[in-house]
Structure 1
Amino acid sequence: MTLTLDPENGILDPCPQITPRYLSDLKMMFKDQQVVDEILKEENRLIYEIRYYPFRTSKSDMALAVTRIFPGSIGGEYHMTKGHKHERDDQPEVYYCVKGEGFLLLDTLEGEFQAIPWRAGTITHIPPMWAHRVINTGTDLLVFIGVFHLSAGHDYEIVAQKGFSYRVYAVDGKPALIRQT
C-alpha cells in the first residue's frame, strides 16, 4: 500500500479515518479551567486532528497516524495533543515532525521527564511505557507522523489522571516549561 502526504497541510490520501479533537475533548488537559469554560461558551475550537491509516497484513500490523495541531493557546498554555501511554509495555513508537515547531514531551509519570524541542525534520524514538504528548508552540500548523504497531493500544486515562510533570506556556512570547506541583 502506498499513501500520499501533503507536507504543507498534513493531508493524507487515502485516509479511511479522521479523528478530530476539540477543546471539549481536551477540557481537563488544560490547567486554567475558567478560561476553558469561557472559550467553550463562545466556540468549541478544533485543537488537533489525527488522520489514520492501518496497514494490516498476515504477519505484521502497523499503523500510520498524521496529526495536525493548530496554533493557539488556552490561558497561555499552548495547544497540545491529549497525550497517551501505550497499553502494551513492549511497544515503542516513532514520531517524525513534518512541519512546524514545538515540543515532544516524554514522561514515565513516575519521575523521569524529557522535553524534546521539535521542528520540521526531527525524528524521535519513543521508548515503551513513556507517556508522550506534542505541543505546538509556533504560529503555524504543526504536522507530525507517528508509526506504531496496531497492538500497542492507547491509554489516555492515565495521562488525564496523573498529568505530565511539566506544562508548556507562552511567557514573554516564548515557550517556557513550568513544573507541575
Structure 2
Amino acid sequence: MEENRDLKARLCKLEARFDSMVDLATNKVKEVEAKAIETHSATLAKVKTCVIVELREQRLQAENTLKIRIGGLPQAWETTELDFSERINFLNETLKPIKVDHNAISRITWRGPDLPIPSGHAILEFESRECRLKLLQQSRLLKDTKFWIAEELTPLQLKRKSEELKKVHEARKQGKWAVYRGGKAIIQEFRNPKSALPTADPS
C-alpha cells in the first residue's frame, strides 16, 4: 500500500510537470504565432507601400512623356497678364531662335500661389511625343545662354539624377555610348567594325 501511495504521488508529480510543460509549450506556440502574424503584417505593409510608390512613379513618368521644362525665363513671364497665345509669343520672342508651335502645345504651367514651380520656369505639355521631341532637339540652340530646355522629371528621378549622370560620364570614359534620357543613364557598347579577311600571301 505504501508503494502504491508513493507511485501515485510520483504519477501526480509527473502529471503536474507534464501539464506545466504543455502550458509552457502552448504559450510558446502562441508567442510564435503572434510574432509570425506581426511579421507577416509588417511585410505586407512594406510590400503594399513599395507597390503604391512604384505605381505612383510610373504614373508620373507616363504623364511627363508629353512635358518639357523651360528655365531661366524673366520675371515678366510670371507677373504679366497674358493669355495662352500671348504666352507662346512671349516664349518665341524670349527664346529666339527657338520656335514654339502654337498648335503643338496643349497646356502651359508656370509659378503660381499653389504651384511648387520655381521662379522663371515654365512647363509645356504637348499634343504628341513627336512635337515634344522637336522642341527638345532645339535645346542645343540655347547653348551659352541663361535659358535651357529639358525633359520634365519626377521628384524621384531628380533625386537620382546626379547618380545617373555619373554613370554616363564613367561609361563615356570607358569608350562606351552613353546618354542621360528619360531620367536614367542609357549605356551601350560601340559595335566594332568587322575585321578585314586575311589576304593570301603572294609569295
TM-score (norm: length of structure 2): 0.20
Bigger helix fraction: 2
Pair member with larger Rg = 2
Structure having greater relative contact order (Cα 8 Å, sep ≥ 6): 1
Bigger strand fraction: 1
